[in-house]
Amino acid sequence: MQVIGRLVLFVAAVTFFYAWFVTKIPQSESLPPEEIKLDPETLTCAQVVEAGRKTLTSKGQCLVCHSIEPDPKARGPAFSGVGARAAKRRPGLTAPEYIYQSMTQPQAFVVEGYPPIMPPANKPPADLNEFEVSAVVDYLLSLGGSPTCELDRLKELLRAAAREAPKPAVDMASLSPADRGREIFLGKGTCMACHITPHNPNPQAIVGPDLSKVGSRRDADFIRKSILDPNADVTEGYPPGVMPPIFASLLTPEELNDVVAYLSSLR
């Protein structure tokens, strides 16, 4: 009973988050990622903290849920003062250890009064590298505490990040419809927040039915209708009204065809 209660709460939290998140999309799209250029040879603590601040406000997408100063509309705790309270959150963890864990394993400790909706910062969609995570940790420590700035380690992480070949932007035109649909499912479509498929790395995606083999139980017309008009035929065992009826306007007709092709291919 308690588990069901928690699941219902979780679903309610996710729905609420979605209703709110969708209104935020145009706003976050108008923020171009700030470019961060750093030289590992001359790296200073001030540069690390500034890189962390920029990462948090752009690529990290942290302000989708958090605010710096307390804001009743924010879905997560305000960051101001986190550098001080982090040392007292969990016995046995220092402040930098706690913040690092909050970012990479958010479900290891869920701050009281908040839903467990935070995605790991080092996985998609933010997908921060190890240097970026560490820089954000130092920036957050500076809010009410002091950054540790382990410069030797940070320099090594920066060199490692530079060695990693930058991921080429996916050339959608060269992909098959099903592969394009997979990219949309995992990206712009936001479907990855609620549905498991073999390509979805998000373990929290249990709000909607598992779609791993949806192509063998549903035909393309049914899948299309489930996306365009989610409440027309609600899947048994799931509450109505959770899947947002926004995809007819969020996706172009071509994108919708691609997502249907992707899901139909999952057998």
Q: Is 83 in the site for ligand HEC (CB under 6 A)?
A: no
Q: Which is nearer to ligand HEC, 193 or 196 (CB)?
A: 193
Q: Is 196 in the site for ligand HEC (CB under 6 A)?
A: no
Q: Is 111 in the site for ligand HEC (CB under 6 A)?
A: yes
Q: Angle 95-104/130-142 helices, nearest 10 degrees?
A: 130
Q: Is 182 in the site for ligand HEC (CB under 6 A)?
A: no
Q: Is 61 in the site for ligand HEC (CB under 6 A)?
A: yes
CA distance 101 to 52: 16
Q: Is 243 in the site for ligand HEC (CB under 6 A)?
A: yes
The C-alpha angle 59, 65, 69, rounded to 5 degrees, equals 100
Nearest residue to 27 (alpha-carbon basis) of 55, 63, 56: 63
Query: According to CB under 6 A, which residues from 117 to 176 bind ligand HEC?
Result: 117-118, 121, 126, 136, 140
Q: Which of the stretches 30-38, 161-169, 170-178, 208-216 binds ligand HEC when contact is defined by CB under 6 A?
A: 208-216
Q: Which of the stretches 2-10, 59-67, 149-157, 166-174 binds ligand HEC when contact is defined by CB under 6 A?
A: 59-67
Q: Is 77 in the site for ligand HEC (CB under 6 A)?
A: yes
Show Cβ contacts of residue 68 under 8 Å, excluding neighbours closer than 6 positions.
78, 79, 80, 143
Q: Which is nearer to ligand HEC, 154 or 191 (CB)?
A: 191
Show Cβ contacts of residue 191 under 8 Å, excluding neighbours closer than 6 positions.
185, 259
Q: Is 266 in the site for ligand HEC (CB under 6 A)?
A: no
CB of 139 to ligand HEC, least distance (A): 9
Cβ pair 109, 92 in contact under 8 A:
no
CA distance 86 to 144: 10
Torsion of CA 159, 162, 165, 171, to 10 degrees: 150
Q: Is 207 in the site for ligand HEC (CB under 6 A)?
A: yes
CB of 41 to ligand HEC, least distance (A): 27
CA distance 227 to 214: 13
Nearest residue to 194 (alpha-carbon basis) of 241, 147, 260, 136: 241
Instruction: Enumerate binding residues for ligand HEC (CB under 6 A).
Output: 14-15, 18, 56, 60-62, 64-66, 75-77, 82, 85, 89, 99, 102-103, 106, 110-111, 114-118, 121, 126, 136, 140, 185, 189-191, 193-195, 207-209, 214, 218, 223, 226-227, 230-231, 234-235, 238, 240, 242-244, 247, 259, 263
